[in-house]
Structure 1
């Protein structure tokens, strides 16, 4: 069995068709077909169900996919371990929640120093970013501190204070009972903290409205659409301009840490090692 056969197998499983896999890998379709048949002969079992819409994995194919993903990941780790240069280079894929106030400074200092690194940044909520790191889809991610996971290592970035905000017509916590909550999707650490407070107060929000960006949440709060639980540092200017009202919650809900996570079992390349140094020095 060749590693290339496993790579082809994975792409066919992902695309669901020989045509799609051939296009993705820039191979002729007959080559893809013969490599899949060869792999099935070696495994002595069909790996795909063939149908009009394309191909889907058999139960045996699903088992092989799990192993092939591990084999190819280990192969990539092996290459990094024995061939890596001392100077950071290559791709670095990082995830982040939307509210990491120090992120521009960290990225600027790193990119200016290591120009051969091709850095890509993806945004999401804490729960999804953790899964992306665990599944090797991201090299690391900035998240709201959550329960320790045995497969992850975390590096503290900074501590943040969250504040409940509303437009200026709401002047007390009592008045918030009738307001909608404006927040990110489920899996957001800030949303989870606010939900804890509501539960402990025996309250239920009137309505929960999910948004994709912090800017939209803040604009909607100013317009009186609801209330939001956000980093205080992100909204000080709106407060100074008299556009919002602060409602501070007890420390057990409002104090949160932002951490950078990475898999504990992956080889620490110079590229990611220097990125962690940039985090710790800012």
Structure 2
């Protein structure tokens, strides 16, 4: 059992398919199948149950998966530690909320790339819950998420603060009372989004059930539908400032409790903090402070 066996095993486990794992690893399918069979023979246990629609882990496979993730991570980290010096280089895998990726991240990445061109940056967007999961599973070196976050295995650093506001189309009248949201459609990211949870929790406290909730995978989808008058959403006002060039939007506060939300950078506590990571965090903090929004008034 070597490190490549663990990487192949994890690819099959995560993809749920030998075919997709082979495509991801750029192997021929038969080679992946043989390596899995050899691993099962070596461990004297079945790791996957095969079916017409793919494969799924057995109890033994589930047990091996947690160890395999640590083995692969520790191997990669050992390589980073040995190679680490005063000049950031190598791969840096960053996660980000859609809103942060749209407004804050481009400037952070530009500053970072100019200073440290030898670092190979990759970015994955998702909800706060999704990104926490990916960091815990060693699939990301760090991620920007929205507060609150509490987890014993995570190092949590506040890098900036977003002011949130209720965003509606310019054709909507001003929303002065929570009851006005009762007949409106909420346009939100999928479950796991901190901003969505804040809005839903606030409405629940007010005893308000919205007429409908529509989920989106992208910020542009939400903004476009708000512009068209389909519904409302809770978003950072910095997003709206940029979007006003393209969309007809109205921004207004609805609750002091919802007003400000810290943006956090999370990483595993047990992960070695390379120079590449530490410098990225410093640039992120600096950029957040430079980009404090001028906060538009309700229109």
After TM superposition, the score normalised by the length of structure 1 is: 0.85
Using the TM superposition, name which of 48-57 and 65-74 deviates more.
48-57
2 CA distance for matches of 1:226 and 1:128? 25
Q: How does 1:68-217 map to 2 (within 5 A)?
A: 68-100=68-100, 101-167=103-169, 168-172=171-175, 173=177, 174-217=179-222
Shift of 1:237: 6.4
Corresponding residue of 1:272: 277
1 CA distance for matches of 2:253 and 2:227? 17
Corresponding residue of 1:247: 252
Distance change >3 Å, CA 17–CA 157, structure 1 → 2: closer
Structure exhibiting the larger radius of gyration computed from Cα positions: 1
2 CA distance for matches of 1:238 and 1:29? 49
Distance change >3 Å, CA 156–CA 39, structure 1 → 2: same
2 CA distance for matches of 1:43 and 1:273? 40
State the superposition RMSD in angstroms: 3.1
1 CA distance for matches of 2:245 and 2:27? 57
Distance change >3 Å, CA 185–CA 29, structure 1 → 2: closer
Q: For the Cα contact (< 8 Å) 1:151–1:264, is it kept in 2?
A: yes
Using the TM superposition, name which of 134-143 and 215-224 deviates more.
215-224
1 CA distance for matches of 2:190 and 2:68? 33
Corresponding residue of 2:236: 231
Corresponding residue of 2:45: 45
Shift of 1:192: 1.1
2 CA distance for matches of 1:256 and 1:39? 47
1 CA distance for matches of 2:230 and 2:286? 40
Q: Secondary structure at the match of 1:99?
A: helix
Give the unaligned 5+ runs of structure 2: 288-299
Distance change >3 Å, CA 57–CA 89, structure 1 → 2: same
Distance change >3 Å, CA 19–CA 257, structure 1 → 2: closer
Q: For the Cα contact (< 8 Å) 2:19–2:29, is it kept in 1?
A: no
Q: For the Cα contact (< 8 Å) 1:18–1:32, is it kept in 2?
A: no
